[in-house]
A and B are shown apart, each in its own frame.
Chain A
Amino acid sequence: MGKISLKQVVKKFGEVEVIPPLDLEIEDGEFVVFVGPSGCGKSTLLRLIAGLEDVSDGRIEIDGKDATDLAPAERRLAMVFQSYALYPHMTVRKNIAFPLKMAGVDHAEQERRIASAAKALNLTDYLDRRPGQLSGGQRQRVAIGRAIVREPAAFLFDEPLSNLDAALRVGMRLEITELHHRLATTMIYVTHDQVEAMTMADKIVVLRAGVVEQVGSPLELYRTPQNLFVAGFIGSPKMNFVTGKDAAAHDAHTIGVRPEHVKLSKDTGHWAGTVGVSEHLGSDTFVHVETEGGLGLMTVRVDGEMDVHHGDRVFLTPEEDKIHRFDEKGQRL
């Protein structure tokens, strides 16, 4: 069981209110991702849930019971830190065993759980090494191992992959998602990488300056961003925004259209422009077009085989039914 609710939770550091009153429901077994720009309070929120920081106001409930004043250890949560926070003086085995030892689990049971965690995480050969003798990915797995042996109500991850190289990051992303399917335990995952958010989450919570901007499934956020911030934050490359005459034509202050929803043609189209940089990814090409008429730079996603060159004059046409409309306040219309 791992249902977590935050009710009017506030966090202040001295005078500074980092989290204004915030409500959030996390269902049992959900994979929830907190995303947002650096400094928006993701870690703070996670640490409030963990009990590593006191809330300044409000309540935190775990499985319907008030946990606001419980010590971290009493909340039955496990956390994987960005720096992994492995105990450098203990072997991998001892690291993984530590929470069990603290919980007074008997020795045979400890061994059993360590063995199964090690097997699940491919750590069996490294059990007698120390953290210093492991690679980044292996350390990461030990940190996860230490979290899973406790069979916690929920896992908390704070940017666990940010110290890994790109290839390893993709691999670990899959492993964590796989782990979630297998354990079906609630997971709360902090990242500022929107690709991680989109690919892993059941539910994404987009934060800005401590405020929840939108909560929803990855596709909901992609299809119907509630405001300019979410629209710009979710999706890669970023959504193109247009204001002025073209927006007014759609009865909006700003319209947005994603790069994949713009057609590029060499002969005719809605907006004219000149090709700047093209990024060839193989399967796709991101073409950056300097448009005429003061609309600025637009990004278009085209087929990887398409033949475009720096300086080409091209025409862009948005797909009408994929246009997002926003009012002056940036809210979705």
Chain B
Amino acid sequence: MATQHSRAAARLMISPAVILLFLWMAVPLGMTIYFSFLNYNLLIPSAHNFIGLQNYDFFVTDPAFVTALVNTLVLVLGVLVITTVGGVLMALLLDRPMWGQGIVRILVIAPFFVMPTVSALVWKNMFMNPVNGIFAWVFHLLGIQPFDFLAQAPLFSIIMIVSWEWLPFAALILLTALQSLDSEQIEAAEMDGASAFSRFIYITVPHLTRSITVVILIQTIFLLSIFAEIYVTTNGGPGNASTNIPFMIYSQSLLQFDVGGGSAGGIIAVILANIVAIFLMRMIGKNLEA
């Protein structure tokens, strides 16, 4: 179907998207790189002189950076573990015969559609509040001291909130994958004398691996840039106990008006994301072939 005529038309049709995305990639990123080498603070309207790698130096040697980096990793890994393990269990549960499966599915998927600011605030106020929250009441019933989640375990609390948002995603994708498993494969294994447990280990699990990888990689992209949940709950605190890299860059550039430092941080975030992205692209590229 590929005639020359259609090729020319095709090129014309692709160009707007390509050009726009190219500009979107190149221009701001170029500017970020440029700013990251300048001594540029909005509060100091002096000349923006070139200072080489000093911004990077400041950003990376700032003890807050290490904290933020560790927080980012803990946040990403914590949520990943909870959501994938929980997601597999949930998918297996939802795949079994039951009454009202459709409704349960709808209930489970709902949190994914809740905007991050709403879920964070609902959890913060109505559940985690040490006085009026539901948890405080439950603790009281159990005779445990009330616990101020966001003050005493801020990162943990944020992990809980974000996991609640992403668990449905993992569950839904894994359930879809599970349901796409050819039932004849399972039946064949059954005819071959495999027990329910071996069927799970040798057929279901390998079938799910690809989807689990996809879940992990896609979530990672989003989790690396968690922002709103922190912004409306802890504001990175107490101190910088719940500051991750995006939040640190935000506060550097928009709260302290340090354009140069924020830009250097931005570039570091881009590099981190790219390391993750390389894996993801390989994965999806493979699937494109399949």
Contacts and interface: CB of A to CB of B under 8 A. Distances in A.
Interface in B235-259: none
A195 interface: no
6 contacts: A51-B3, A53-B1, A53-B3, A54-B2, A54-B4, A71-B5
A52 interface: yes
Nearest to A13: B2
B1 to A, nearest CB: 6
A304 B4 CA distance: 57
A317 to B, nearest CB: 50
Interface string A66-89: 000001000000000000000000
A73 to B, nearest CB: 12
A122 to B, nearest CB: 32
A53 B2 contact: yes
Residue from the set B1, B2, B3, B4 with the largest chain A CB neighbour count within 10 Å = B3
Contacts of A52: 1, 3
Contacts of B4: 54
Contacts of A71: 5
Nearest to B3: A54
A303 to B, nearest CB: 44
A85 to B, nearest CB: 12
A316 B4 CA distance: 59
Nearest to B7: A54
Dominant SS among interface residues on chain B: loop
Contacts of B3: 51-54
Query: How many A residues are at the interface, by size bracket?
Result: under 10
Interface of A: 51-54, 71
Nearest to B2: A53
A136 B5 CA distance: 34
Among A52, A53, A54, A71, max chain B CB count under 10 A is at A54
Contacts of A53: 1-3
Nearest to B4: A54
Contacts of B1: 52-53
Interface in B1-28: 1-5
A52 B4 CA distance: 11
Given A54-B4, A71-B5, 8 more contacts: A51-B3, A52-B1, A52-B3, A53-B1, A53-B2, A53-B3, A54-B2, A54-B3
A221 B124 CA distance: 85
B5 to A, nearest CB: 7
Contacts of A54: 2-4
A328 B83 CA distance: 70
B143 to A, nearest CB: 64
The 6 closest A-B pairs by CB, nearest first: A54-B3, A52-B1, A54-B4, A53-B3, A53-B2, A71-B5
A51 B6 CA distance: 12
B276 to A, nearest CB: 35
Contacts of B2: 53-54
A71 B6 CA distance: 11
A54 B8 CA distance: 14
Contacts of B5: 71
A69 B4 CA distance: 10
A119 B4 CA distance: 40
A51 B4 CA distance: 11
B80 to A, nearest CB: 41
A12 to B, nearest CB: 13
A87 to B, nearest CB: 16
B169 to A, nearest CB: 32
B3 to A, nearest CB: 5
A15 to B, nearest CB: 16
Interface string B215-235: 000000000000000000000
A6 to B, nearest CB: 17
A44 to B, nearest CB: 12
A53 B3 CA distance: 6
A54 B3 CA distance: 5
A53 B4 CA distance: 9
Nearest to A54: B3
